[in-house]
Amino acid sequence: MSLIRGLARFFRHDAAGGVVLMLSALLALIVANSGLSGAYQGWLMKPFSVLLDGEGLSKPLILWINDGLMAVFFFLIGLELKREMMEGKLRNPADVMLPGMAAIGGMIAPALVYLAFTWPDPAARAGWAIPAATDIAFAVGVLALLGKRAPATLKIFLLTLAILDDLGAILIIALFYTHGLQPGYLVLALIPLAGLFLLNRARVHRIAPVVLFGVVLWVLVLKSGVHATLAGVVTAFFVPLRDRYGKSPLHSLEHALSPYVLFLIVPVFAFANAGVVIQGLTLSSLVSALPLGIAGGLVIGKQAGVFLTTWALVRLGLARLPEGVGWAHVYGLACLAGIGFTMSLFIGGLSFTDQARMNEVRLGVLTGSALSALLGYAVLRRAARPGTRSGTTGSRVSKAASARADGRTG
């Protein structure tokens, strides 16, 4: 019983998702470089079909994971975005400005750093968006390891930045990773979209009809050439925040879905996509343009984009740092924003189909994310030491104020 209670406490901890994600990536790395490598690759490429009278979908298992399971992941992101826009951190434009601009800077700078490394290779330029995204679960997990030593307002800042970063990644996928567009299927997709609109308008209590229309929408979007995970986001925005009885289907669904996404879907994705084959790697492989561009974008670009944008806005008097947050905290947060992992691997899979290229992508993402996590944790841990001068601007607060901030986020 004590083991069960211990596991229950672990899975309730904010860092649990990041730890499980890290273990899944580590397992993929071990399996990909062991005697099980052939079985691992064979399992990922095994065809899986859903057919009716010979017609339907037939894809390798890896694509079912990346297009199907990740649609559920994006569905959850859509639910979080809608909730935050309607009643949370994204409701007040004044609260969104600083993390929002930091998120934009934190997407532009990594892309520029990546292009600086890969410009001589035209084929590699397609991956410019790989280092632009932040992994919420991993970043929040690392921050959670600091416990009460990190200001509660810093977590709010990081969550807002990461949510807006996800929104930016969704827009990038929609605009730049749509290939072989087939308008006929998009026209057909208007039918389930209309159904979702009517259900939302009627403030339905039951979720099943929404999910059914969402599945039909996913199939049609997949067939259209637009990346199918976007159907998950669109469906989420039609889940009613309040039904006709005053209850919240959106809150209920988000609460029910979160553990499955965090502890099943994302780890399965990591296991399927993080298997870097180390055999044959040389020093020249580590410093070749593609992995170096990704790692440089995550480590250098994210730090520069997030920190310098925040610094400029505060110095120009256009924004204020959150209560209790100093410049050392902002720098540590900028480092944590360089943990790309899930989103970076996902965009890497959209950018390249060649396995040799994908191995370089995995190498760059894992290296850059690991360095960002270690550096961010070290900076924030040092910033939390008693007597450390963090250089806050108008935000030196008492312990009582910090306690109030903790209460707001508890």
For 166-222, what is each residue's pLDDT tens digit? Answer: 888 888 888 888 777 788 988 999 999 999 999 999 999 889 999 999 999 999 988
Residue 27 scores a pLDDT above 90: yes
Tell me the β-bridge partners of 48: 59
pLDDT band, very low/low/confident/very high, at 53 (cuts 50, 70, 90): low
- Looking at domain 56-409, its CATH superfamily turns out to be Na+/H+ antiporter like domain (1.20.1530.10)
From the CA atom positions of the chain, what is the Rg in Å? 22
Higher pLDDT, 386 or 4: 4
Tell me the pTM: 0.79
pLDDT band, very low/low/confident/very high, at 297 (cuts 50, 70, 90): very high
Residue 65 scores a pLDDT above 50: yes
Higher pLDDT, 29 or 4: 29
Residue 384's pLDDT is 73
Residue 388 scores a pLDDT above 90: no
pLDDT, mean of residues 42-65: 82
